[in-house]
A and B are shown apart, each in its own frame.
Chain A
Amino acid sequence: MKLRCMLGVFLWVALVAGSIAVASAVDSTPGDSLRVRIVAAVEGATLVVEAGDYAGPFLISKPVRLLGRPGATLSGDKKTHVVTISAADVEIGGFTIRGSGRDLSKDQAAIHTTGARSFIHDNRIVDSLHGIYVRRADACRILNNVILGDGAVASTVGDPLTSGLKPGESELCDVDSPQDRRGNGIHLWNSVGHVIAGNTITGTRDGVYFSFTDSAVVRDNAITKVRYGLHYMYSDDNTFERNLFSENAAGSALMYSKGILLRGNRFVANRSHRAYGILFQSVDNTRVEENLIEGNTLGFYLENSNNVTVRGNQVVGNYIGMRVSDSTAGGRFSENSFRGNIHPVETSGANLANAWTVDGRGNHWEGALTLDLDRDGIADLPHREPDLFGGWRRSFPAIGLLSASPGEKLLRLIHSRIALPSLPGVTDTRPLITARELP
């Protein structure tokens, strides 16, 4: 009797288990299949994913290559990351990825990696909090992805100089307002040695977020219609080349860092009333070369930054071309071209701690009265660029309404011929006759 009972129980369990197994095989989704394939793959394997919608989330915990055919979509459950990479040397490319969770305090992202040398390329990321989140993972390559945020930037943006750049929620979990409840395009934290190239980011909160991330190369990316195109703090020795930062609400802000190279980038049309083409706050030993800074509220602002070389940039059509605070020292400004700015340079004093002529070459100032009798391409007389409004812009912002007014221009003209006493501004002893073209 006891044996029969035991046999009965065994048969029932077997029957139920078999039924479940059969049922599971019949109801298996593409996402389940993909998860099974990922789990079953050997290290270094290449998994090609055909077109179709694959329900996530997915965890990649071994070094594999996950390559999507055109039309392959990875959909998250809107509760966590869509793809989590926890192993080094993972490659993921060719997918449309959507539907991450929206919890900022958990850094939820379309792709969240903690694996070194992650290679993330050719993906299209939509409907997610962060696009690609790199956390304590070095030497990642993030190439040719398209990351689309939820929409246009909010119109109200705090001035980073007064409110400061806020760290990411991985460091502090405070969220100020609903408009901050969007994630970043690419979020890099506490890592080194990345290559970020050819990505297109639009409509996210910030475009590329750097915090404690060093020695990265950021090249040929286009970042538009976000809050900060570049949100950058505590990160050293990074290189930015040929990127486009355009139509962002607050422009690009770099703070508390050193050893940066900005070359051949375009910072254009960042036009809200608190927007900067580039903002440097406490940025040292940095080179800014051959960039186009055009159509911004404030083209380039250097605050409390030391030994910054600013050479060969085109500063064009900004409301204020360049603002150099007196707390900035050791700056070397040469071969830049100032054209069509309503106020080319704003200073808060005589700005004597910075050089506006380097190796015998100054800058090109459009509209300056120049004389070049020896035809060496360098004006024979110094150029004085006054800032009539000076510090009044902050204590009395309405003074800006006199911008480009005939009265202001008249004083500027007089000052260029006869140095008016007590007027803040800069003096370029060797101004260039012609503008240097960008390569």
Chain B
Amino acid sequence: MHAVSEIPSLPSVRGVVGAALRREWLSHRLNRFLYSHVALVLVVGALPLLTPGDGFSRGAAWWLLHGVLYAVSLSSLLLGLSSAHAEAEEYVWIMGQPAGIGPWLTGKAAGLVLLTGGSTALICAPVMAMGGGTRALAVVTVGAVGISAVCALVGFALGFWVRDGVRGLIAVVAGWFVMLFGVDLLLLALAGAPWVQANPDVWIALLMANPLDAFRITVLFSVERAAFSGLGAGALTNWWSANAVMWLGVLCLVWVMLGGLLAWLGLRRRTDDV
């Protein structure tokens, strides 16, 4: 024990980040959401094997696209929410630590991203095991990992803004609907507006900003190389089509950082509720 006259030293940021990261790992080892997520990822990864003959390798990207859009994204959101809520009872301890919430949140978010992304990487395992490894599969897997990380961080952020478990679930499902369907439907509704038709780049930029749409476009038009009649839609579309993979990477990174920032704001905002 320290003598009273000693001035306690502040723990290093790296130490706190590392502690939070390790704790996240320990926490998820017993988290049923993680095991459900892994099982789901493996089921989705095995979907291409339903294709008869050796077509599973060529059709893998198409199957995985839909699996990620409709299942893995929601599962990742729930995983993020569960991570945020896991320590809800404990915020009073954590926020009273001298290192503050920033390093703890960073470590926790990093642990969540590593766990979610790492488990999502298993999506390529079934096809790989059957000898169907291709560059397209690698790109889709990396994209799926990115989308999974983004969704986990979105769920994480929502969890810090909505503390109640049931409301948190509702918020996550609503957020998933918005990302999956809402943006598309909104853009579809806007497509007929004269101002939008005169400024298509604004419309395209909105689409580009949605990670689920960016993933779909990347898989369809960059990985699958689906023939696309809209290539004459303008310089932004052409740039996007040519750099879809890079754009998806940048977008996922931005969204992950944004998710972390929103989580931090959510935690700070609710200080008085702790």
Could you tell me which residues of chain B, from 197 to 225, have a CB within 8 Å of some CB in chain A? 197, 200, 203-204, 207, 212-213, 216-217, 220, 225
Whether the Cβ atoms of B226 and A406 lie closer than 8 Å is no
Given the contacts A396-B191, A406-B69, A408-B184, A401 and B204 also touching, CB distance less than 8 Å: yes
Whether the Cβ atoms of B230 and A406 lie closer than 8 Å is no
Q: Which of the candidate stretches A25-33, A87-95, A267-275 sits at the interface with the other chain?
A: A267-275
Main secondary structure of the interface of B (DSSP, over half): helix
Whether the Cβ atoms of B220 and A403 lie closer than 8 Å is yes
Whether the Cβ atoms of A405 and B229 lie closer than 8 Å is no
Picked from A271, A296, A399, the residue with its CB within 8 Å of the CB of B191 is A399
Cβ contacts under 8 Å, B197 to chain A: 395-396
A370 to chain B, nearest CB (A): 19
Picked from A397, A405, A410, the residue with its CB within 8 Å of the CB of B216 is A405
Picked from B62, B216, B220, B234, the residue with its CB within 8 Å of the CB of A398 is B234
Whether the Cβ atoms of B184 and A271 lie closer than 8 Å is no
A10 an interface residue at 8 Å Cβ cutoff?
Answer: no
Cβ contacts under 8 Å, B187 to chain A: 402, 407
Cβ contacts under 8 Å, A401 to chain B: 204, 207, 213, 217, 230, 233, 237
- Inter-chain CA distance A400–B181, complex, in Å, is 16
Chain B 22-34, CB-CB to A under 8 Å as 1, else 0, gives: 0000000000000
Whether the Cβ atoms of A408 and B233 lie closer than 8 Å is no
B35 an interface residue at 8 Å Cβ cutoff?
Answer: no
Given the contacts A398-B203, A398-B204, A399-B191, A405 and B230 also touching, CB distance less than 8 Å: no
Cβ contacts under 8 Å, B19 to chain A: none
Whether the Cβ atoms of B228 and A392 lie closer than 8 Å is no
Whether the Cβ atoms of A407 and B227 lie closer than 8 Å is no
A411 an interface residue at 8 Å Cβ cutoff?
Answer: yes
Nearest CB in chain B to that of A404: its residue: B220
Given the contacts A396-B200, A398-B237, A405-B213, A271 and B227 also touching, CB distance less than 8 Å: yes
A388 an interface residue at 8 Å Cβ cutoff?
Answer: yes
Whether the Cβ atoms of A407 and B185 lie closer than 8 Å is yes
A166 an interface residue at 8 Å Cβ cutoff?
Answer: no
B98 an interface residue at 8 Å Cβ cutoff?
Answer: no
Picked from B183, B191, B213, B216, the residue with its CB within 8 Å of the CB of A392 is B191
- Inter-chain CA distance A404–B200, complex, in Å, is 19
Cβ contacts under 8 Å, A272 to chain B: 227
Nearest CB in chain A to that of B180: its residue: A406
B55 to chain A, nearest CB (A): 11
- Inter-chain CA distance A295–B226, complex, in Å, is 8
Cβ contacts under 8 Å, B225 to chain A: 271
Whether the Cβ atoms of A411 and B227 lie closer than 8 Å is no
Whether the Cβ atoms of B188 and A407 lie closer than 8 Å is yes
Given the contacts A342-B220, A398-B200, A401-B207, A406 and B212 also touching, CB distance less than 8 Å: yes
Could you tell me which residues of chain B, from 133 to 190, have a CB within 8 Å of some CB in chain A? 180-185, 187-188
Nearest CB in chain B to that of A317: its residue: B226
Indicate the member of A319, A399, A402 with the most B CB atoms within 10 Å. A402
Nearest CB in chain B to that of A299: its residue: B227
Cβ contacts under 8 Å, B183 to chain A: 407
Whether the Cβ atoms of A297 and B188 lie closer than 8 Å is no
Cβ contacts under 8 Å, A120 to chain B: none
B73 to chain A, nearest CB (A): 10
Given the contacts A342-B220, A411-B188, A406 and B181 also touching, CB distance less than 8 Å: yes
- Inter-chain CA distance A405–B188, complex, in Å, is 11
A66 an interface residue at 8 Å Cβ cutoff?
Answer: no
Whether the Cβ atoms of A404 and B229 lie closer than 8 Å is no
Cβ contacts under 8 Å, B69 to chain A: 406
Whether the Cβ atoms of B230 and A399 lie closer than 8 Å is yes
Given the contacts A275-B227, A295-B227, A297-B227, A402 and B184 also touching, CB distance less than 8 Å: yes
Chain A 94-117, CB-CB to B under 8 Å as 1, else 0, gives: 000000000000000000000000
Chain B 232-255, CB-CB to A under 8 Å as 1, else 0, gives: 111001000000000000000000
A417 an interface residue at 8 Å Cβ cutoff?
Answer: no
Given the contacts A398-B200, A398-B237, A404-B216, A392 and B229 also touching, CB distance less than 8 Å: no
Indicate the member of A275, A318, A403, A406 with the most B CB atoms within 10 Å. A406
A320 an interface residue at 8 Å Cβ cutoff?
Answer: yes
A8 to chain B, nearest CB (A): 82
Whether the Cβ atoms of B229 and A398 lie closer than 8 Å is no
Nearest CB in chain B to that of A295: its residue: B227
Picked from A295, A297, A395, the residue with its CB within 8 Å of the CB of B228 is A297
A149 to chain B, nearest CB (A): 23
A244 an interface residue at 8 Å Cβ cutoff?
Answer: no
Cβ contacts under 8 Å, B231 to chain A: 273, 397
Whether the Cβ atoms of B227 and A400 lie closer than 8 Å is no
A298 an interface residue at 8 Å Cβ cutoff?
Answer: yes
Chain B 53-76, CB-CB to A under 8 Å as 1, else 0, gives: 000000000100000011000000
| CB<8 Å pairs between A and B, sample of 20 | A272-B227, A273-B229, A273-B230, A319-B227, A319-B229, A392-B192, A396-B196, A397-B229, A400-B228, A400-B229, A401-B217, A401-B237, A402-B184, A402-B187, A404-B220, A405-B184, A406-B184, A407-B185, A410-B181, A410-B184
B residues whose Cβ falls under 8 Å from a Cβ of A: 62, 69-70, 180-185, 187-188, 191-192, 196-197, 200, 203-204, 207, 212-213, 216-217, 220, 225-234, 237
* Known A273-B229, A396-B200, A400-B229; 9 more pairs at CB < 8 Å: A271-B225, A388-B188, A398-B230, A398-B233, A401-B217, A407-B182, A407-B183, A407-B188, A408-B188
